[in-house]
Amino acid sequence: LVLTQSPDTLSLSPGQRASLSCRANPSLSSNYLAWYQQKPGHPPRLLIYAASRRATDIPDRFSGSGSGTDFTLTISRLEPEDFAVYYCQQSSSFGQGTRVEIK
Amino acid sequence: VQLVQSGAEVKKPGESLKISCRGSGYKFSDFWIGWVRQMPGKRLEWVGVIDPQDSDTRYSPSFEGQVTMSADKSIQTAYLEWSSLKASDPAMFYCARARVGISELYFDQWGQGTLVTVSS
């Protein structure tokens, strides 16, 4: 299984909407895709599991969607603390990450 | 829920190493523990997972034969071990509590990481 994330870097301003893509090859027969956020010097933090379920204590500005080959993590309005690297994961595969940076 | 890992290690090629991950705040044997490698500035890489209840393991093909996972549920601790380290760039190894299903595996709690440096 190969997970390809796009874009590699997303340059946005606080308050803007962020859409991060994760494409699976081959297609996932189940929607068990997770998303993580990682800030420098910190371990990853689970945001979303089962493609669309928010983990405990994750703000509702984070949402996940998708099925099969195409999955999306959306941050509805970027807060300053949301600028970080985001990874998708399915079973034993991780994507290469998308960096969300301040424009 | 907390996972606390052992401290940073600096080793020479050929030496052995065992790093640890102690869980607290939950029943340790009820959840698999996974290990994830991250080289500086690079992506996360799945090393493998272990069931502390019966020490059943699943390794990534990339790491099988290179490392050994083990666990001691009586002291709520999982381990990642190398019998003979190879020279490489420093790497951070994270342990994480795994939620494992028939087709599902994700990590809901993470340790702080252990930095492993192997250099002559």
In tens digits, chain B (120 residues) has pLDDT values of 999 999 999 999 999 999 999 999 999 999 999 999 999 999 999 999 999 999 999 999 999 999 999 999 999 999 999 999 999 889 999 999 999 887 789 999 999 999 999 998
From B31, B42, B37, B41, select the one nearest B105 (Cα to Cα).
Answer: B31
CB B77 within 8 A of CB B23: yes
Q: Which of A32, A43, A49 sits opposite B103 (nearest CB)?
A: A32
- Is the minimum CB–CB distance between A44 and chain B shorter than 8 Å? yes
Nearest CA-CA distance, residue B42 and chain A, Å: 8
Counting one residue from A and one from B, how many pairs have CB atoms under 8 Å apart? 59
Which chain A residues have a beta carbon less than 8 Å from that of B99? 49
B interface test, pick of A22, A29, A46 with most B CB neighbours within 10 Å: A46
